[in-house]
Amino acid sequence: MMSLIPGPEDLYLFHEGNLFRSYRMLGAHLAESEGERGVRFAVWAPHAREVRVVGDFNCWDGSGHAMNKVSTWGVWSLFVPGVREGEYYKYEIITSAGTLLYKADPYAFWSELKPGTASRICSLDGYEWTDQEWQSRKTSQSVYRSPLNIYEVHLGTWKKKPDGAYYSYRELASELVDYVKEMGYTHIELLPLAEHPYDRSWGYQATGYYSVTSRFGTPKDFMYFVDRCHQAGIGVIMDWVPGHFVKDEHGLRQFDGQPLYEHSDPALAEKPEWGTLAFDFSKPEVVSFLISNAMFWMDMYHIDGLRVDAVASLLYLNFGKPRGQWVKNVNGGDENLEAIAFLKKLNRTVFACYPDALMMAEDSTAWPLVTTPVDAGGLGFNYKWNMGWMNDMLKYMETDPYFRPASHGLLTFSFMYAFSENYVLPLSHDEVVHGKKSLLNKMPGDYWRKFANLRVLFGYMMGHPGKKLLFMGGEFGQFDEWKDLEDLDWEMLGYDSHRSMHRYVRDLNQLYLRESALWELDHQPEGFAWIDPHDQRQSVTTFMRSSGNPEDVLVIVCNFTPVYHAKYRIGVPFAGEYVELFNSDAGEYGGSGKLNEGILRTEDVPWHDRQDSLHISLPPLAAVIFKPVKIKRKRSKTTTRRGKADA
């Protein structure tokens, strides 16, 4: 059982910013004293005059349960006998000014269901995990040379029951996991799961960083969900928000009557764009709190990785602030030096314990070396969302095909920097909400052309170097943008066009899993080569992807206009025979059915700076993928004794 008082070594490390599992020391933990079971409470509140524990067990009267200050820097602790799992509690804090505050536990493992705001006693021990095969497989595979195709999900609106009730974690462990497996995704990315008071914050404005939201069940229900994902071969990534927190009274804001988790200077604390508060990374205890939280989700819930939200807001002091509110660091610059140091420390710590973790930066800046190890001068993430690619591609796809030739650079520019970081190509929730329209409805043209445009976008995305992410609903062409209080428009699958799109995405995902050329060298220039980036007039791009086997190549041709080319010549890497491996214009996908059937044989016609070429049928608004099935070995030129070349 747990000791009744936090140990001096843990206290020292916590106040130094180096206690990376501080959730074991702080919070509410089952303990035993002189044969009597109860709970040991511990909380950091250095500015408080007094701290008491209130809850069901004392009728919310803290007069008999004052906590003891056990460290000079403000950790308070108390053992309360007889308290049982499931009971509600808060901290009653008497501030230095004599004000009475009632605060939820920052380290609570379970929270009262909204609109309630209390914490709940909860032990996370005792769940029997059955994901050993998954964990073993993770350690034996390189995350960089493996397929990574992410389905981004908001659990509250993926699917709801007829009466509007949420599906529970255990119900989602069947419904959602089976669906993701069938659709060919490798990972689920969940919008933030930390407890949050307001549904429409989607979890990005949390009050309980250690509490998996009670909207969908208990902590052990969520363990079951993750376990079921792993049994199905699906990884779990969670959106994680270390940049800011909500101002609700029961949360972290002025926790002990003064700024504690936030900076004391409002110019540094306020996030005016979001109406939230920034963490103060200059406080070692805040660093311990946040790094421990990242470790907590991996330790206790077997989360496979974190997508770190809004990294740009961490890197720069003045992110989202009007010019009149700008501040400078000690060097006179805009960089948030303490936050940068925190990110590096975070990634070093996570990878020291979980070398196969996914640490993904959602970063919209041009900050260099985001996915370079800390020891080599980088921030230490192993993936970064490619926001530049996303913005360029959506801008291009929203352009009428007639005008696309003038924007051809938007298609090709991303290849100039595709290997500067380890990228994920995201089509995320942020792009289909707040009036931005759904992916399908962004596409120009009539009904048929909208679907064809979306198919070619997805095909181009799958061929482009980088791992993949798609937000829920995009896979069947949701016509309305994401309605964040309602579930997806699953009834659309009753219509042919949406059903065909759904089948297309499933088949495209399955193709991705089968073809190692699409992912094995995602982050190396050797895995990509242009065949023709210059057909601006016809808005066509042609390129190759290859795996570690130089003969394992795919030729990808994308036509971004509704013009059909019955004879389109492309240069190819090898002479021989090719087959059409995939065509987004196939009839079963809602296309016009203009396919390249049978064996395609190369001609000895130089094209695109290559010795051999193919004539193909290039459908309108389509992505077509070819693969060599028989390579013809040509005799290389040899030198005779007389020094002449024989062909």
Strands 149-153 and 187-190: parallel
Cβ atoms of 558 and 459 within 8 Å: the answer is yes
- The one catalytic residue among 105, 152, 362, 421: 362
Q: 321 φ, ψ to 5°?
A: -100, 140
CB-CB neighbours of 502 under 10 Å: 17
Categorise residue 590: left if φ over 0, alpha if ψ from -120 to 50, beta otherwise: left
The answer to whether 508 and 475 are in contact (CB under 8 A) is no
* Cα-trace Rg, the chain: 28
Distances in whole angstroms, Cα of residue 450 to Cα of each of 12, 493, 501, 504 = 60, 16, 11, 14
Q: Is 256 a catalytic residue?
A: no
Active site annotation includes 309: yes
The tokens for 450 are: 């909208």
Q: Return d(Cα 441, Cα 74) in angstroms, integer.
A: 54
For 68, phi then psi, to 5°, come to: -100, 140
Encoding tokens for residue 502?
Answer: 């759904």
Residue position matching structure tokens 């949360």: 251
The C-alpha atoms of residue 557 and residue 600 are separated, in whole angstroms, by 15
Q: Which two tokens stand for residue 92?
A: 């009653």
The helix or strand, by DSSP H or E, that contains position 426, with its residue range, turns out to be: strand 423-427
Q: Give me the residue label for tokens 């996991």.
A: 177
Q: What share of the chain is helix, strand, coil (3-state, %, to 5)?
A: 30, 25, 45
Query: How far is it, in rounded angstroms, from Cα 62 to Cα 48?
Result: 15
Closest to 288 (Cα-Cα) out of 299, 277, 300, 296: 296
Catalytic member of 309, 475, 481, 585? 309
Non-local (6+) Cβ contacts of 390 within 8 A are: 425, 426, 427, 428, 431
Measured at the alpha carbon of residue 596, what is the angle toward residues 595 and 602, in degrees to the nearest 5? 160
Nearest to 529 by CA among 540, 517, 515: 517
Q: Which candidate, 22, 41, 33, 87, places its Cα nearest to that of 60?
A: 87
Neighbours of 150 (CB within 10 A): 26
Element (H, E) at 91: strand 88-94
CA distances from 515 to 236, 243, 519, 553 (A): 23, 38, 8, 9
> Cis (ω within 30 of 0) for the bond into 115?
yes
For the annotated catalytic residues, the residue numbers are: 309, 362
